Structure 1
Amino acid sequence: MAEIVIRNTNERITGEEAVQEFLAKQEVLYEKWDVTKLPEELRENFTLNDEQKAQVLSTFDSEIKDLAARRGYKIWDIITLSEATPNLEELLAKFEDVHTHTEDEIRAIVGGKGIFIIKGSDDLGYFNVELSPGDVISVPENTPHFFTLMENQQIVAVRLFIEENGWIAEHYDDPSFVKA
């Protein structure tokens, strides 16, 4: 279950209804997938091969196609990050740069944990969305944000794109942003 931390005040928002309400006010889509339908051997596997990635996509085929139909996504894939990922620190440094996209950035977490840091309204500032398996989030286009891993540094996520070239980020220079 996702939790929110308002960075300016350290306020924590918990509970599915409160999280959905907060994110809706920020125009961030939040949904849940049933990850218990994922085969046991894939639930905590952070080094998936191509066949296993295809199995994850097949398991969530109806959910993916539903999102694609509602929001115009054309392609999707699986990203896996863990201590076994070559150049993990370089990848995280790339992800941990505040940026925007010309399309929304959507992730469905099927294993592990991660955090989206999103810029809210001026009076709110940045907030963290701590994600767990089953959480689906879509950060609106042109919204400053970045993604990073939590302390366990393990995640498996489905990524969906409108742009057929996949993940394209534009750096967002924000002197008000302070890393935690």
Structure 2
Amino acid sequence: MAEIHIRNTGERISGEENVRAFLDRQEVLYEHWNPTKLPADIQEKFILSDEEKAQILSTFDEEIRDLAKRRGYQTWDIIALSDATPNLDELLKKFEQVHTHTEDEVRAITAGKGIFIIKGSDDVGYFNVELEAGDVISVPEHKPHFFTLMDNRQIVAVRLFIETEGWIAHPFEDPTFQKA
């Protein structure tokens, strides 16, 4: 279950209802899917064949199509990252820069853990959303953020897009941002 860490106060928010209420106030969509729907042999697998990726998409087809219909997403895929991913550290450096997009950035975590760092309202500042299997988040267009892996450095997620070629990051310079 997702947990929030507000960086400037150290406050932590947990529990699905509390997390959802906080993220709603920050205009960030949060949902939870049942990760145990996946076959046991791929629930904690981070190197996936094309067939296994298709199996994940098929397993969550109803949830994906429902979210896509409600939010206007046109296409989706699977991203799998782990220490076995070629050039993982270089890839993470690209991810770990505050940026915005001209469409939502959506992740439905099916295995592993990840973290979104998001710029909230002026009274909140930056906050971390720590995600695990079953957590679904949509950071709205133009909201400064970035995504990275947690200490375990393993994640599998469904990504949904409005634009068929995927999103493009636009750097967001913010002198108030401090890496944790």
Give the TM-score range, shorter chain: over 0.9
Alignment of 1:42-61 (within 5 A): 42-61=42-61
Normalising by structure 2, what TM-score? 0.99
Identical-residue share of aligned pairs (%): 73
Alignment of 1:148-167 (within 5 A): 148-167=148-167
AA in 1 matched with 2:133: P
Measured against aligned partners, the alpha-carbon deviations of 1:104-147 in whole angstroms (never above 9, x if no partner) come to 11100000000000000112110000001000000011000000
1:108 pairs with 2:100:
no
Alignment of 1:1-180 (within 5 A): 1-180=1-180
| Matches of 2:90 and 2:49, distance apart in 1 | 21
SS at match of 1:89: helix
Measured against aligned partners, the alpha-carbon deviations of 1:58-108 in whole angstroms (never above 9, x if no partner) come to 000000000111011111000000000000001100110000000111100
Deviation at 1:164, TM superposition (A): 1.0
Q: How many residues in Structure 1 have an aligned counterpart in Structure 2?
A: 180
| Matches of 1:123 and 1:63, distance apart in 2 | 33
AA in 2 matched with 1:164: T
AA in 2 matched with 1:30: Y
SS at match of 1:24: helix
AA in 2 matched with 1:19: V
Measured against aligned partners, the alpha-carbon deviations of 1:29-77 in whole angstroms (never above 9, x if no partner) come to 0000011110001100000011100000000000000011101111100
SS at match of 1:73: coil
Q: Any gaps of 5 or more consecutive residues in structure 1?
A: none
SS at match of 1:56: helix
| Matches of 1:25 and 1:122, distance apart in 2 | 12
AA in 2 matched with 1:48: L
SS at match of 1:113: strand
Runs of 4+ in structure 1 over 2 Å off: none
| Matches of 1:124 and 1:160, distance apart in 2 | 27
